[in-house]
Amino acid sequence: MDALKQAMAAAAVDVEAMLVRILTAEREAEDRLIAAMRYAVLGGGKRLRPFLVLQASGLFGVAHTAALRTAAAIELVHCYSLVHDDLPAMDDDDLRRGRPTVHKAYDEATAILAGDALLTMAFEVLAHPDTHSQPEVRCALITALARAAGAHGMVGGQMIDLGAEGRDMGIGEITRLQQMKTGALIGFSCEAGAILGRAAEAGREALRGYAHDLGLAFQIADDLLDVEGTAEETGKAVRKDAALGKATFVSILGPERARSQASLLAEQAVTHLAIFDKSADLLRRTARYVVERRV
Amino acid sequence: MDALKQAMAAAAVDVEAMLVRILTAEREAEDRLIAAMRYAVLGGGKRLRPFLVLQASGLFGVAHTAALRTAAAIELVHCYSLVHDDLPAMDDDDLRRGRPTVHKAYDEATAILAGDALLTMAFEVLAHPDTHSQPEVRCALITALARAAGAHGMVGGQMIDLGAEGRDMGIGEITRLQQMKTGALIGFSCEAGAILGRAAEAGREALRGYAHDLGLAFQIADDLLDVEGTAEETGKAVRKDAALGKATFVSILGPERARSQASLLAEQAVTHLAIFDKSADLLRRTARYVVERRV
């Protein structure tokens, strides 16, 4: 196993342990809700966003617990968004990470509530003193997460995406949609390291640039997997975009140009990291990983 | 108009103005989402929770903007919970505040996303420096709101409530359910004033006790309205609990005993306020109001 995969696997184990600690049922009556939350969160996944938090935090000497709690909070938000996006009224997906989606394994009402509770919990985790000794840093994290995840970020992007079925969209429009839908949270994952480490503006700016290109490269790769991957590989239904008549980077550029665009963005992402020494090497490799991955 | 009604109406106007300010579309693409959020939030309502925040804040000399922003944040959470609770997969309600519910006026996907965005926005509002100059106070508000609204509070209560249809429940169980489902957020509304004002423990404790009894009295009155009120008065469907075979305070105690229990709780709520002077008079009157109201 190469160094990146090893580091990602180790980070996933750490994050999983933190998530288990957070998602403990305090009282019996909420058992079904907490069980659904655990099902949504502990079902594996690449843990890419937590990995980015940990790596970006590493650049600024952030304490491990602080980085790990922040990573867990972002993963809670990511998982809540998957639970809600999979609902019948939204993308109507039955399969996620190779298992039935939450509303299939439980029911729709439980899926809605589990998502709500996961989102709420993310903010509780960030507000806790264990996440950072300085409350202004915790508030900065909360502000940035709310912006990335809310009406002008992830949720707004999903809203535009739902209206995009069968509609003609240009590359500019798709780029903006994806920048909101997936890019904003990936961006926050990288920036969180800089916030936790009270980094100078140059470091923050570099990570923002990196995350921007990484997020787009990641999305193009996702679109390619939807066209070229199998449900076995990806753990979710494929060929959905074409079936819904959704414009994607691949439907507009074609697979060849989409692939080279993704590679270009990955290279471009790496150039933003020039101000960092070899401590940013795994972030550099991550840029290549996101375009080469098969899951 | 008596002093309480006047004060409640004035508070509602202030809160509405703050909510309008918060819910401004920054970009055109999110128009439909922001419109649904505004529809959910600006549709009137008693604004009881914001009123409690403002009154409790008044006991400790909290700045008006601080109290108002906190009040708005709580109202965002309350409104998100109504939007999600009204969904077909949950309580399946078509009418709210005398108008079609959000998923009826828009669609289910939009209602889910609007709720998600409102919840997210509440935390963004609280984390902002305008809410309080001291970040530790903002973090304390966020922690308390997340606990009141999350898996061990409001969302957990709704989860238990969904499982309660047709099930035999005792008074103890119903009390606990309602304490989570509606009591926790009412409790936070009162406690927020003490948090903002950095009140001594005695003041906080008094407000906690007041809010506990007030919340239960409010819920019993709600159950009575479901049995005795009309859709015109309440702006929502009535006789729902009986139709669903849901145990309520009224179904167990009968309307007479339920009414006297609500009055008893209202009186009890007032006794908790003994440590405050006449600055708490409107809170005292609010206790009576919640059991006498027809909406």
Which of A30, A90, A155 lies at the smallest CB-CB distance from B156?
Answer: A30
Optimal mutation site among B82, B103, B106, B112, interface A, most CBs of chain A within 10 A? B112
Q: How far is CA A244 from CA A176, A227, A251, B207, in A?
A: 20, 13, 12, 53
- Inspect the interface and report whether the beta carbons of A123 and B123 lie closer than 8 Å: yes
Residue A80: its chain B contacts at CB < 8 A?
116
| Maximal CA-CA distance, chain B | 54
pLDDT at A53 over 70: yes
Closest CB to A151: pick one of B33, B152, B160: B33
- Give the pLDDT of residue A28: 53
Residue A294 has pLDDT above 90, yes or no: no
Lowest model confidence (mean pLDDT) among A40-49, B72-81, B229-238: B229-238
pLDDT at A226 > cutoff 90: no
Query: For residue A284, is pLDDT > 70?
Result: yes
What is the DSSP secondary-structure string of chain B? --HHHHHHHHHHHHHHHHHHHHS--SSGGGHHHHHHHHHHHSS----HHHHHHHHHHHTTT--HHHHHHHHHHHHHHHHHHHHHHTSTTTT--SEETTEE-HHHHS-HHHHHHHHHHHHHHHHHHHHSGGG-S-HHHHHHHHHHHHHHHSTTTHHHHHHHHHTTTT----HHHHHHHHIIIIIHHHHHHHHHHHHHTT--HHHHHHHHHHHHHHHHHHHHHHHHHHHH--HHHHSS--SHHHHTT---HHHHHHHHHHHHHHHHHHHHHHHGGGGS-GGGHHHHHHHHHHHH---
Domain of residue A50 covers 3-292
Give the integer Cα–Cα distance in Å for B155 and B181. 7
Checking B126-134 for CB contacts under 8 A at 24+ apart, the result is B126/A142, B126/B69, B126/B70, B126/B73, B127/A139, B127/A142, B127/A143, B127/A146, B128/A143, B128/B69, B129/A139, B130/B65, B130/B66, B130/B69, B131/B66, B131/B69, B131/B70, B131/B73, B132/B66, B132/B196, B134/A135
C-alpha A83/C-alpha A3 separation (Å) is 31
- When pLDDT is averaged across residues A114-125 and rounded to a whole number, the result is 98
Contact in structure between B69 and B84 (CB atoms under 8 Å) = no
State residue B230's pLDDT score.
78
Q: Tokens 């502990």 belong to which residue?
A: A42
* Residue partners of A219: CB distance under 8 A and separation at least 6: A178, A182, A183, A249
By 3-state DSSP, what share of chain A in percent is helix, strand and coil, each rounded to 5?
75, 0, 25
A43: three-class secondary structure by DSSP: coil
Q: Residue A124: its chain B contacts at CB < 8 A?
A: 142-143, 146-147, 150
Interchain contact, A127 vs B146, CB within 8 Å: yes
**Residue A95 β-bridge partners:** A100
Banded model confidence at residue A46, pLDDT cuts 50, 70, 90: confident
How far, CA to CA in Å, does A134 sit from each of A141, B78, B133, B134? 11, 30, 14, 11
Give dist(CA B162, CA B157) in Å, integer.
9
Q: Which residue has the higher pLDDT, B167 or A78?
A: A78
- Percent of chain B's residues with pLDDT above 90: 74
Predicted local confidence at residue B198, as pLDDT:
97
State the pLDDT at residue A231: 74
Q: What percent of chain A has pLDDT over 70?
A: 97
Task: Give the nearest partner residue to B84 out of A116, A124, A156, using CB atoms.
Answer: A116
Q: Which residue of B has its CA nearest to A89?
A: B109
Point out the residue among B120, B147, B159 whose CB comes nearest to the CB of A149.
B120
Give B14's Cβ-side CA count (13 Å radius): 19
Whether the CB of A278 is below 8 Å from some CB of chain B: the reply is no
Gap from B179 CA to chain A (nearest CA, Å): 13
**CA nearest A29 in B: which residue?**
B160
Query: What number of C-beta contacts closer than 8 Å exist between A and B?
Result: 151
Q: Note the pLDDT of residue A242.
A: 73
Please indicate whether, in this complex, the C-beta atoms of B124 and A135 are within 8 angstroms of each other.
no
pLDDT tops 60 at residue B273: yes
Q: In this complex, is the C-beta atom of A169 within 8 Å of any C-beta atom belonging to chain B?
A: no
pLDDT surpasses 70 at A25: no
Distance CA B288, CA B2 (A): 13
Collapsed DSSP state (helix, strand, coil) of residue A217: helix
Mean pLDDT of chain B: 92
Q: How many domains does chain A have?
A: 1
Locate tokens 């709720």: which residue? Answer: B115
Consecutive H or E run containing A257: helix A249-271
State what percent of residues in chain A have pLDDT above 90. Answer: 74
Chosen for mutation from B110, B152, B154, B178 (greatest number of chain A CBs closer than 10 Å) is B152
Distance from CA of A289 to the nearest CA of B (A): 31
Q: Say whether pLDDT at A295 is over 80.
A: no
Residue of B nearest to A152 (CA): B30
Residues with Cβ within 8 Å of residue B27, at least 6 apart in sequence? A152
CA atoms within 13 A on the CB side of B168: 0
A28 touches chain B (CB under 8 A): no
From CA A137, how far away is CA B178, in angstroms rounded?
A: 35
**What does the mean pLDDT of chain A come to?**
92
Q: Which ipTM score applies to this complex?
A: 0.93
> How many Å lie between the alpha carbon of B142 and the closest alpha carbon of chain A?
7
- Which tokens hold the place of A198? 């009270």
pLDDT above 60 for B179: yes
Interatomic CA distance for residues B19 and A41, integer angstroms: 33
* A127 in reach of chain B (CB within 8 A): yes
Query: Could you tell me the maximum CA-CA distance found in chain A, to the nearest angstrom?
Result: 54
CATH code of the domain containing B19: 1.10.600.10
Tokens linked to B238:
């009535």
Amino acid at B61: G
Say if B169 is an interface residue toward chain A (CB within 8 Å).
no
Distance CA A170, CA A177 (A): 11
**How far, in Å, CA of A234 to CA of A240, rounded?**
13
- pLDDT of A1 reads 59
Confidence of residue A27 (pLDDT cuts 50, 70, 90): low
Answer whether A30 sits within 8 Å of B135, measured CB to CB.
no
Whole-number pLDDT of residue A34: 93
- Note the pLDDT tens digit of each residue in A62-75: 999 999 999 999 99
Who's near B89: CB < 8 A, 6+ residues apart? A107, A108, A109, A112
Q: Is B162 on the interface with A (CB under 8 A)?
A: yes
From first CA to last CA, the distance across chain B in angstroms is 16
Q: Are B22 and B71 in contact (CB under 8 A)?
A: no
Determine the residue type at B104: K
The angle formed by the CA atoms of residues B115, B95 and B166, to the nearest 5 degrees, is 90
Q: When comparing pLDDT for B29 and B129, which is higher?
A: B129
Sign of CA dihedral B282, B287, B292, B295: positive
The answer to whether residue B159 neighbours chain A at the CB level (below 8 Å) is: yes
